Amino acid sequence: MKLLIIAPEQIPVPPPIGGSVENCIYQITKQISNEHQVTVVSLLRKNLARKSIINNMTILRVSGGSKQAYLTNAIRKVKGNRYDLIQIDNRPSFAKAVRQSFPKTPIAIFMHSMTFVSSPMTTKKKANADFNHANLIVGNSKSLQESLIGRFPAHKAKINFVHLGVDTEKFHPIGSSTSKPFHLLFAGRLIPRKGVPTLLKAFGIALKSIPSLRLTVAGGSRKSAYKVFLKRIARNLNVPVQFKGNLSRKQMPAFYRTGDCFVCPSQMHEAFGLVNVEAMASGLPVIASHIGGIPEIVQHDRNGLLVQNYQKPAAFAAQIVKLASDPELRGRLANQARKDVQNRFNWKLTASNLMELYKSKLK
């Protein structure tokens, strides 16, 4: 099969820092290209080649500047070529222009969240019209599939889901020492929906029971004022938090191996939560909000702990203290987390399931 994948306009593929969507594209494409010919169109950045060829995968990079400029350049780059399928990642608004340039080619839109089908990014009417140009819509979790169906019932028949994965060779456990302070980790964008203020307050409460606890927060924010706001909360609470800023994709495996537990305090719908899978692959038990697609991955008292009252710092603090105080529980959850990821959330399985879906739905 000959596939074209159109990435979003903000971050190159593969992403040097952050870029969970772009990382997913790269990891899935690496697997698919073992059997299929794949072309990825992505953003051009300084010091990156306009064209890269890796096995059966070709990455074409085009300049952006704006969403419309990027889309125009992307289509111009590939127009006239023949493809069996075109996959658009997380930008339904690209579908109309792609359909106009490729009127007979099946189009799949791979959604990674509800962000680009909701206000303020778009209107329900506009997103619904965008989906009219797609033959298939794929979410990254059952929760996202259900959310998409709930918002766009007219497209129910073509909305499906495929879970994402992780590279279990790069993300792997390391033996932990019982002598060091119990170390909590967070990784993600520093934006309100990720719940870092809740985590900082929970950490402050948990410290009263276990004064040796430590917390490291990795991630950046486009709004420097929000980062200042978070540091002010930590300072006012007088808690020992280390803010590491953005880490590169290459730095992330080592980052997870510095911790004893990963905390995901999301306050709004999380479609999948790739950081949780990465942490689990690294042998960390996860404490996470019971929201969105997270419970499809983190199963309470099996491979992690879920917090029902996730808006309340005290609820997170209770689970932190519970885990930090019980090495046996910690070991059991961590071992099962690694096993579950190896069996259910690896990129080879993701790619296989995605291609099977394409073959069955786009005959």
- pLDDT band, very low/low/confident/very high, at 362 (cuts 50, 70, 90): confident
Phi, psi of 226 (to 5 degrees): -70, -35
Residues 37 and 161 in one domain: yes
Residue 109 forms part of a structural domain: yes
- pLDDT band, very low/low/confident/very high, at 106 (cuts 50, 70, 90): very high
Q: What is the mean pLDDT of the chain?
A: 96
pLDDT of residue 16: 87
- pLDDT band, very low/low/confident/very high, at 177 (cuts 50, 70, 90): low
Residue 76 forms part of a structural domain: yes
Residues 336 and 351 in one domain: no
- In sequence order, the 6+-apart residues with CB closer than 8 A to the CB of 200 are 215, 230, 233, 234, 237, 239, 241
Residue 174 forms part of a structural domain: no
Task: Give the model confidence (pLDDT) of 81-100 as tens digits.
Answer: 999 999 999 999 999 999 99
> Are 118 and 271 contacting, i.e. CB atoms less than 8 angstroms apart?
no
Structural domain for 284, as ranges:
183-344
Residues 338 and 350 in one domain: no
Task: Give the model confidence (pLDDT) of 194-219 as tens digits.
Answer: 999 999 999 999 999 999 999 999 99
With 0-12 / 13-18 / 19 or more C-beta atoms within 10 angstroms meaning exposed / middle / buried, residue 136 is buried
What average pLDDT does range 239-246 have in this prediction? 94
Residues 116 and 262 in one domain: no
Q: Pairing relation of β-strands 57-62 and 51-54?
A: antiparallel
Identify which of 271, 257, 261, 139 has the alpha carbon closest to the alpha carbon of residue 193: 271
Confidence check: pLDDT of 179 > 80: no
pLDDT of residue 178: 54
d(CA 155, CA 131): 8
Percent of the chain with pLDDT over 70: 98
Give the side-chain half-sphere CA count within 13 A for 257.
Answer: 11
Residues 234 and 109 in one domain: no
How many independent structural domains does the chain possess? 2
**Polymer length of the chain:** 363
What average pLDDT does range 16-26 have in this prediction? 92
Q: Hey, how many other C-beta atoms are within 10 angstroms of the C-beta on 296?
A: 18
Residues 119 and 15 in one domain: yes
Confidence check: pLDDT of 250 > 90: yes
Confidence check: pLDDT of 57 > 70: yes
Residues 113 and 30 in one domain: yes
Question: Phi/psi zone of residue 288: left (φ > 0), alpha (ψ -120 to 50 degrees), beta?
Answer: beta
Residues 233 and 328 in one domain: yes
Residues 206 and 277 in one domain: yes
pLDDT of residue 176: 56
Three-state SS string across the chain, please? CEEEEECCCCCCCCCCECCHHHHHHHHHHHHHCCCCEEEEEEECCCCCCCEEEECCEEEEEECCCCHHHHHHHHHHHHCCCCCCEEEEECCHHHHHHHHHHCCCCCEEEECCCCHHHCCCCCCHHHHHHHHCCCCEEEECCHHHHHHHHHHCHHHHHHEEECCCCECCCCCCCCCCCCCCCCEEEEECCCCHHHCHHHHHHHHHHHHCCCCCCEEEEECCCCCHHHHHHHHHHHHHHCCCEEEEECCECCCHHHHHCCCCEEEECCCCCCCCCHHHHHHHHCCCCEEEECCCCHHHCCCECCCEEEECCCCCHHHHHHHHHHHHCCHHHHHHHHHHHHHHHHHHCEHHHHHHHHHHHHHHHCC
Residues 189 and 335 in one domain: yes
pLDDT of residue 54: 84
Residue 40 forms part of a structural domain: yes
Residue 178 forms part of a structural domain: no
Residues 154 and 219 in one domain: no
Residues 220 and 337 in one domain: yes
Please report, for the domain that includes residue 128, its CATH number.
3.40.50.2000
Confidence check: pLDDT of 111 > 70: yes
Task: Give the model confidence (pLDDT) of 282-336 as tens digits.
Answer: 999 999 999 999 999 999 999 999 999 999 999 999 999 999 999 999 999 999 9
